[in-house]
Amino acid sequence: MALRLSVVAVLLLLSAASTTTTTTAAPAQALTGCSDKCGNLTIPYPFGMKTDCLLRKEFFINCSHTTQPPTAYLMYSDLIVTNIYLDEGELQILNDVGRACYDEEGGYQTDRSIKPQLLLQPPYTISNTKNKFYAVGCDTSAIVNAFRGKEEFITGCMSICNSLGSVEKSCSGVGCCQINIPSGLYNLTVELNSFKNHTRIWNFNPCSYGFIAEEGLFNFSPSSFEDLNYSALLPMVANWAIGNEIDTCETAQKRLDYACNANSNCVNRPIDGSVGYLCQCLPGYEGNPYHPDGCQGDL
């Protein structure tokens, strides 16, 4: 609790210190007096970078200016946000590639390995339509551990091969396997195991990899065995919504904190296992349905 309070105090100081206002002809994306840019990333309301610029605390974006261009982190996490999609209720974030590396004798190399924990939690869930789970390696078994609703969920795939020559140029099961994931996953961890600690294939593949990635943005080829060694982050898509698992359009519309404004519609998240609702401009209207000004008609 003390930690949470001090973070809020820092945020209040930050908002008092900065008074940047942007005026543009396009419909406002952020609240009046609030910036809508972190570098070249647009941060539309309900997201915001200061306490009085966001709808709920889970829509806080930490825009860190210690990097050039600035980096947008989701809430208080180290997940980097690279796109916010208002209409779809989606977010593109960068996710760690899980890695388990071995030395020539089959000893596990702790310093070169990464055990990813994707600690997203509702109203954020992992998109099942935009992502796949991939495991890369020739002595590799990868397990996804996650929550779905209140239940624990486990899935995964494995890939065993003997030579680089047998590895295909697409993720088809030799050197790389991919699986669909169900909707509504959150709090996800990846566990990598091997059968012979990569000893028989070490000369061309000393590491196993496992990760969720946006479909189409990871293209497997035999060089992935080395490439993944360096690119530790890959894009993936998370779903977001307003509210929690008990919020539907029907119940939310009766409450004072209903988030859909003028000329917009409420839509329930259609996917099983997901939470809350989204707002969308009525046909013929455009803008930001979450903004107090609502959506505007064609001028």
Ligand X SMILES: *[C@@H]1O[C@H](CO)[C@@H](O)[C@H](O)[C@H]1NC(C)=O
Element (H, E) at 56: none
User: Minimal distance in Å, beta carbon 206 to ligand X?
Assistant: 6
How far apart CA 260 and CA 211 sit, in angstroms, is 35
How many residues are given for the chain? 299
Residue labelled with tokens 């294939």: 201
CB of 2 to ligand X, least distance (A): 15
Beta carbons within 8 Å of 6's beta carbon, 6+ residues apart: none
Given the complex with ligand X, which of 145 and 296 has the nearer CB atom? 145
Provide the 3-class DSSP secondary structure of residue 165. helix
SS (HEC) of 101-136: EECCCCCECHHHCECCEECCCCCCEECCCCEEEEEE
Please give the residue ranges that form the binding site for ligand X (CB under 6 A).
7, 40, 62, 64, 69, 73, 76, 106-108, 119, 121, 147, 187, 197, 206, 226, 229
* Of 112 and 155, CB closest to ligand X: 112
Minimum distance, C-beta of residue 277 to ligand X, in the bound complex (Å) = 22
User: What minimum distance in Å lies between the beta carbon of 289 and ligand X?
Assistant: 22
Q: Given the complex with ligand X, which of 27 and 106 has the nearer CB atom?
A: 106
Cβ atoms of residues 82 and 39 within 8 Å: no
The minimum distance between CB 75 and ligand X, in angstroms, equals 7
Nearer to ligand X, 20 or 40 (CB): 40
In whole angstroms, the minimum distance from the beta carbon of 86 to ligand X comes to 15
> Which CB, 7 or 262, lies closer to ligand X?
7
Instruction: Kindly report whether the peptide bond that precedes residue 69 is cis, defined as omega within 30 degrees of 0.
Output: yes
Rounded Cα gap, residues 218 and 235, in angstroms: 9
In terms of CB distance, is 114 or 282 closer to ligand X? 114
Are 259 and 55 in contact by the 8 Å Cβ rule? The answer is yes
